[in-house]
Structure 1
């Protein structure tokens, strides 16, 4: 038990600190895309399989996919709230997003969920929020905060609390509820708090704008988990699932680069005339 606690804590610290440093030194856009990569949910589903059994984790992965609609709603509500609250912006935005997440999860648990719905609903929501976020500008962080041990500790503290709490859910609820809760943005939420507190809501909005892009990799990851965990176990199954999620990001990056290049070429041709 102590070993599992230590592993969860170390992974939580590494993920949140790594993404926050990526946002500062590369861009919030890149951090936003990668925050949708299977990190928090991957940890949660892995420990579901380790502490309960692979079949439990596989069933939870189906509900994890449908729960991603709540996770996407979480970031959208945080975005809307942060635009309108003047005082206590971070606190009220966080409370609004959390309440919105649990409201969506409660509605989802009333629905008779099947695999087709678990795939199509989060995909539809991802495209919806891509459209709603289209006018948000991608900005980078100019003057970076000076890091010290205290700052790093605070960043790690949020992630460790959230991840350890969510991975304890299977002890109290069934796989459907556990799967829905496993979609909680355990890595993204602390990252949002860090960037918002350290910099500005505009930087958080850049982060949020790009979350739906990365969320597709999490949909693919959870779908793969639901198939391969019962067949190959949690260790090989996790590697295979990360492989499919990574393949999506590589293909997306390649296609996005090709599209941007075509736009630049087209723009140059128009100016030449």
Structure 2
């Protein structure tokens, strides 16, 4: 295992905190629905794969990204476990939801780790999972987060501690585990889980469930990022490969949001009397 420079460790902290805070601002100032879609943007996954490539090798990160394509299934399972177990407000709901979510994630990850995925098979597994979980989450009602006070130092510290701990665990384990597990770990909701916990504590289970509901349909951006860097990391290097991945992911997200607006407008016109 290579010694990781202090500057890289500090970069992990800064990136993790800024991502979690950004999602929190969106949820309160815009809506949990939009935050759920953006939770599917390659924030935590990009951070994990980038530092895996930086600390180990770009080739190892590219190979891990292939397994990340299937690992998003475990992430959706975490959301389902959290939703099913964390339906009560307060710390009790947070703890039950976290335990249920982590148990679901680990169980699905154990199954995924038994297979040697290709880009095609990993994509097909996640596409099937998106359909299944979208149907499962369909009956969750949309809820809007209420206005809240600006972030406190306590909330800032909690986000920093949890997000940093998760990214440090993932990038450290990547030095010791096969690429199958490293890729699955990279798909772990590094930024979404701390965001869910804080949102649950401050707003209750309803807005939290709304974020979980819309998460699967936002995964196209994550999928396109992982697929892109699986090709570009080893061929182009980490920085150009990361930029290419974000470009592809952004184009996907913009196209998806445009399609949603078109579909909503079409449904509105189809209503009687409109």
Please indicate, yes or no, whether the TM-score normalized by the shorter chain is above 0.5.
Answer: yes
Which residues of 2 match residues 126-141 of structure 1 at below 5 A?
126-141=130-145
Secondary structure of residue in 2 paired with 1:83: coil
1:93 corresponds to 2:73: no
1:70 corresponds to 2:67: no
Q: How far is the alpha carbon of 1:89 from its aligned partner? A: 1.7
Aligned to 2:122: 118
- Please say if residues 32 and 211 of structure 1, whose CA atoms lie closer than 8 Å, have aligned partners that are also in contact: yes
Aligned to 1:156: 160
Residues 53-112 of structure 1, C-alpha deviation per residue, up to 9 Å, x if partnerless?
111011000111111110110001111112379982211210111121111111111123
Secondary structure of residue in 1 paired with 2:273: helix
Q: Which moved more, 1:83-92 or 1:226-235?
A: 83-92
After TM superposition, the runs of 4+ consecutive aligned structure 1 residues lying more than 4 A away are 84-87
Unaligned runs of 5+ in 2: none
Aligned to 1:169: 173
Aligned to 1:271: 273
Residues 90-135 of structure 1, C-alpha deviation per residue, up to 9 Å, x if partnerless?
1121011112111111111112322221111011101211111112
**2:238 aligns with one of 231, 234, 238:** 234
The separation in 2 between residues aligned to 1:87 and 1:253, in whole angstroms, is 34
The separation in 2 between residues aligned to 1:139 and 1:84, in whole angstroms, is 15
Aligned to 2:22: 18
The separation in 1 between residues aligned to 2:152 and 2:11, in whole angstroms, is 23
- Please say if residues 61 and 223 of structure 1, whose CA atoms lie closer than 8 Å, have aligned partners that are also in contact: yes
**2:211 aligns with one of 207, 210, 227:** 207
Aligned to 2:196: 192
Secondary structure of residue in 2 paired with 1:171: coil
The separation in 2 between residues aligned to 1:28 and 1:87, in whole angstroms, is 20
Which residues of 2 match residues 1-16 of structure 1 at below 5 A?
1-16=5-20
1:216 corresponds to 2:238: no
How big is the alpha-carbon RMSD for the aligned residues of Structure 1 and Structure 2? 1.6
Aligned to 1:34: 38
Q: In structure 2, do the counterparts of structure 1 residues 57 and 85 end up closer, same or farther at CA, with 3 Å as the change threshold?
A: same
Unaligned runs of 5+ in 1: none
The separation in 2 between residues aligned to 1:85 and 1:26, in whole angstroms, is 22
- TM-score normalised by L of structure 2: 0.94
Residues 211-257 of structure 1, C-alpha deviation per residue, up to 9 Å, x if partnerless?
11211111111111111112111111111111111111111111111
The separation in 1 between residues aligned to 2:86 and 2:243, in whole angstroms, is 37
1:82 corresponds to 2:86: yes
- TM-score normalised by L of structure 1: 0.94
